[in-house]
């Protein structure tokens, strides 16, 4: 894990990298930790339930999380998550290419109480 200043919030981007892809109205984001030691933290922090909870208006369908244990990665498949998909969305980013950074911006569940 990268060093952070005392009061800085730790986010997924501090321990992992990610890429987003689209098919129709389904977005998938794969997330990979840099250091295998952080994989448990990633799995604890980025769950299907949490994605639904964090982005209720964007992610309207089911979320499935595939775990690629030996490569230390997750694949998040988010249905009805592209505002209609590339053909129908009015979002400037109609492919949801930037959705990887939605995931990378999530706070990590480090178990510490925050004020």
Which residues share a beta bridge with 20? Answer: 29
Q: What string marks each residue from 13 to 52 as x (binds another protein by CB under 8 A) or -?
A: x---xxx-xxxx-x-x-x-x-x------------------
For another protein, give the closer residue by CB, 9 or 19. 19
Identify each DSSP E strand in the chain by its residue range: 16-23, 26-33, 63-68, 73-78
Greatest distance between any 2 Cα atoms in the chain? 44
Interface residues toward another protein, by CB under 8 A: 13, 17-19, 21-24, 26, 28, 30, 32, 34, 54-58, 64, 66, 68, 70-71, 73, 75, 77, 83, 86-88, 90-93, 97-98, 102, 105
């Amino acid at each position: 894990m990268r060093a952070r200043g005392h009061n800085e919030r730790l986010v997924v981007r501090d321990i992992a990298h990610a890429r987003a892809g689209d098919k129709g109205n389904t977005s998938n984001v794969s997330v990979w930790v840099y250091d295998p030691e952080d994989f448990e933290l990633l799995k604890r922090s980025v769950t299907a339930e949490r994605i639904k909870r964090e982005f209720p208006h964007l992610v309207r369908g089911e979320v499935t999380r595939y775990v690629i244990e030996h490569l230390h990665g997750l694949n998040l498949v988010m249905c009805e998550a592209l505002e209609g998909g590339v053909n129908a969305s009015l979002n400037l980013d109609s492919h949801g290419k930037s959705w990887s950074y939605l995931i990378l911006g999530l706070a990590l569940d480090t178990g510490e109480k925050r004020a």
